[in-house]
Amino acid sequence: MKKIIILTFLVIFSIKLHSQEISSTVFVNMEQLSQEARVNLSTIEKDLTNYLNSQKYSNVDWVGPKIPINLTIFISSGSNGRYTGKLVFISKRNTKGTEGGTSSSMKIFEDNISFDFSQGASFTLNPQRCDKFISIIDFYTYLALGLDFDSYGDLEGTKLYEVAKTIANNCRDNADGWQTFSQPGDFTRYNLVSEMLNPNFEQFRKLIYTYHVDGLDKMESDRTTAMKNIQNFIADLADFKNKKLSGSSVFLQAFFDAKAMELITIFKGTNNQQVLKDLKYLDPSNTTLYNDNK
């Protein structure tokens, strides 16, 4: 009886351990700051790491490997609790069939962020209010989870994108970097999440599922079928762009910012001219890379 109780406790404890979705690595570069400013920011890396690795973002009991997120902040100037810098946010999707295998899902680079921070501050998750610092992190984390959910089931990330949209709406009049007015195709946080929730992009989101489940997850067990499925994915995505998009798309570009090198590696040496033609059409900013893929 005692063994059964212990086993039950271990199972419950294991579920609780995995109920949180994120496994984050945080690095904050403060080399350009004065010694006083560095002291004031001395806990920021630890505080962010603890927050991301303990915060639960979805209502799903997470039981699989956690989503890897790498967050890097380069702080270039600031004092008295107000700072400016750059942010790099990278999330990955765990792939089946390969021990520890991952695929980049999102790579975001923002070269001009501003935020407030003071020692002893307690980060809390509240999408209904705008925090000039943690709302940026929460926004991209929700998008990362939404992309991960979409990669396992058709349109499964919608609720997470909706929370990110709530953050964007609450911050647009209260903090820098949340503008809603921009030129078509300009990268803004608001444009990105708006496209993710736009019904016109549902076909694209379903193709993201196809790419991961029928492509990447099958690579080890049936590479021939997986390669064929990825070729079909690229052809279908090119058809989607041709028929559904009248201009540039920040969502499509964000996808290829994360996947370009992966796709180049997958098709390296295959000399599949149709695939290369479609990739250059879908991702013209990386044409040189695709041309060099021999």
Distance in angstroms (rounded) separating the CA atoms of residues 63 and 59 = 12
pLDDT score at 4: 45
Work out the angle at residue 29's Cα, subtended by the Cα atoms of residues 23 and 30, and round it to the nearest 5 degrees: 140
0.85 exceeded by the pTM?
A: yes
SS3 of residue 109 by DSSP: strand
Q: What is the pLDDT along the chain (294 residues), one digit of tens a residue?
A: 444 443 433 333 343 444 789 999 999 999 999 999 999 999 999 999 999 999 999 998 888 889 999 999 999 999 888 999 999 999 999 998 766 689 999 999 999 999 989 887 789 999 999 998 999 999 999 999 999 999 999 999 999 999 999 999 999 888 788 988 877 778 999 999 999 999 999 999 999 999 999 999 999 999 999 999 999 999 999 999 999 998 899 999 999 999 999 999 999 888 889 999 999 999 999 999 898 876
Distance in angstroms (rounded) separating the CA atoms of residues 134 and 124 = 8
pLDDT score at 80: 83
Distance in angstroms (rounded) separating the CA atoms of residues 105 and 69 = 10
What is the CB neighbour count within 10 angstroms for residue 254?
20
Domain ranges in the chain are 24-197, 204-291
Chain-centroid distance of CA 122 in Å reads: 24
pLDDT score at 176: 82
Phi, psi values for residue 214, rounded to 5°: -90, -10
SS3 of residue 229 by DSSP: helix
SS3 of residue 86 by DSSP: strand
pLDDT score at 160: 98
Cβ within 8 Å of residue 88, ≥6 positions away: 70, 71, 72, 73, 74, 107, 108, 109, 110
Q: Which amino acid is at 25?
A: T
